Structure 1
Amino acid sequence: MTGTTPRDATVLREVLDGWKAAVDAHQPDRVAAHFTADAVFQGLHPYSVGRPGVAAYYDSQPLGMTADYRVLETRRPADGVLFGYLDVDFAFTDRPTVSVKLGILLRRTDEGWAIAHYQVSRLD
Structure 2
Amino acid sequence: MTSGELEILRTVLDKWKSAVDAHDPKRVASYFTDDAIFQGLHSYSIGPEGVSGYYEAQPIGMTASYDIRETRRLGDDLILGYLTVDFAFTDRPVLEVNLSVIVRRISNVWLITHYQVSRLGLPDA
Structure 1 length as normaliser, TM-score? Answer: 0.95
Q: Secondary structure at the match of 1:104?
A: strand
Moved over 6 A (4+): none
Q: Percent identity?
A: 58
User: Distance between the aligned counterparts of 2:108 and 2:17, measured in 1?
Assistant: 19
Residue 84 of structure 2 corresponds to which residue in structure 1? 87
CA deviations 1:23-59 (Å, max 9, x no partner) are 0000000000010011000000000000000000000
**Structure 2 counterpart of 1:120, from 107, 117, 120:** 117
Gaps of at least 5 residues in structure 2 are: none
Gaps of at least 5 residues in structure 1 are: none
Residues 1:58 and 2:69 aligned together? no
Q: Secondary structure at the match of 1:36?
A: strand
Residue 49 of structure 1 corresponds to which residue in structure 2? 46
**Structure 2 counterpart of 1:103, from 100, 103, 113:** 100
Partner amino acid, structure 1, of 2:72? R
Deviation at 1:111, TM superposition (A): 5.3
Structure 2 length as normaliser, TM-score? Answer: 0.94
Partner amino acid, structure 1, of 2:59? P
Residue 77 of structure 1 corresponds to which residue in structure 2? 74
User: Distance between the aligned counterparts of 2:72 and 2:108, measured in 1?
Assistant: 21
Deviation at 1:123, TM superposition (A): 2.0
**Structure 2 counterpart of 1:10, from 7, 15, 22:** 7
User: Distance between the aligned counterparts of 2:84 and 2:75, measured in 1?
Assistant: 23
